[in-house]
Amino acid sequence: MDVIRNGRALAVATLFAAFFAASLQAHAQDSGAASSAPAAPAAAASSSATSATPTSQKAADRSLRRRVLNALAKAKGLRAGGITVRASNGAVKLEGWVPEQAQIDQATRIVQGVAGVTTVENTLTLSTF
């Protein structure tokens, strides 16, 4: 019985090793193809340098989201625990719930005053939870 179990384990290990080796080889071929591609023209390279990279844009969006959340948390009379904030390129979307209509309007005013916010989409709803 141990021989069968060990045989199955060996077969599984062999299959895994073959799969792993094949995926490494495919990755190496993809990397080699990318590095052997011709260089981009100088005009294209210079235009991409002026736009934000995806990594820096994500960092900017996270920073804006944190500033908005901090502003909402510091606001007097606003229960921000039910509010979710999404930020993208200066556009902020508020989602979630608040207990009073006045707090929906207050949240919009607060977010509009945060540096870096260009637009505010407020989809907050009323809830008594």
**Residue 10 resides in a domain:** yes
DSSP classification of residue 129: -
How many structural domains are present in the chain?
A: 2
**Residue 47 resides in a domain:** no
31 in the same domain as 59: no
68 in the same domain as 20: no
Return per-residue pLDDT of the chain as tens, 129 residues: 444 445 455 455 554 455 545 544 544 444 444 444 444 444 444 444 445 688 899 999 999 999 999 999 999 999 999 999 999 999 999 999 999 999 999 999 999 999 999 999 999 999 876
108: left (phi over 0), alpha (psi -120 to 50) or beta: alpha
59 in the same domain as 32: no
pLDDT for the residue numbered 111: 97
116 in the same domain as 80: yes
Provide φ and ψ at 115, rounded to 5°.
-60, 135
Structural domain harbouring 24: 2-37
115 in the same domain as 81: yes
Provide φ and ψ at 122, rounded to 5°.
-110, 110
pLDDT for the residue numbered 127: 86
69 in the same domain as 99: yes
**Residue 9 resides in a domain:** yes
**Residue 103 resides in a domain:** yes
121 in the same domain as 63: yes
pLDDT for the residue numbered 54: 85
pLDDT for the residue numbered 51: 58
**Residue 90 resides in a domain:** yes
* Cα–Cα distance, 51 to 42 (Å, whole number): 15
**Do the beta carbons of residue 86 and residue 117 sit within 8 Å?**
no
Crossing angle for the helix pair 101-112 and 54-74, to the nearest 10 degrees: 130
58 in the same domain as 32: no
108 in the same domain as 63: yes
